[in-house]
Amino acid sequence: MSITIDFDGPLFDGRAERAMQAAADDAREDIAEYAETHALTLMGFAFRHPTGYYESRVTTTRVSGEVSLVHDQGVIYGPWLEGVGSRNSPVTRFPGYWHWKRTKGAVAARGPQIAEQAVRRHLPEMGG
């Protein structure tokens, strides 16, 4: 007696692994896009006298395969606008806009949902 077992499908031919990597990449990109849009939206609502320069410096950079960074490219007055600079004191009375801190909280709250949507888009490729 002999038994022949054929292993076939996305799990065995590498399609599932590629789909999982694509889902992870999409999730990272989607979350970074949400963060950038959220920060710029907050700036649009909050900035009293916007020149457009600071907003134009906000960008997303892929730091590694797993990490994207949304940042202001090191604009010198960025910490002051955020409210964490050395010049944010009771003397200047400018507390900052806290756009990055609020964006971080929004991403923490909405990030898992965004990632789940990215995974769901790739489930058919994974055989699910």
pLDDT for 25: 95
Q: Please, which pLDDT band fits residue 42 given cuts at 50, 70 and 90? A: very high
Q: Please, which pLDDT band fits residue 65 given cuts at 50, 70 and 90? A: confident
What is the phi/psi pair of residue 2, to 5°? -135, 150
Q: Please, which pLDDT band fits residue 128 given cuts at 50, 70 and 90? A: low
Tell if the pTM clears 0.75, that is, is over it: yes
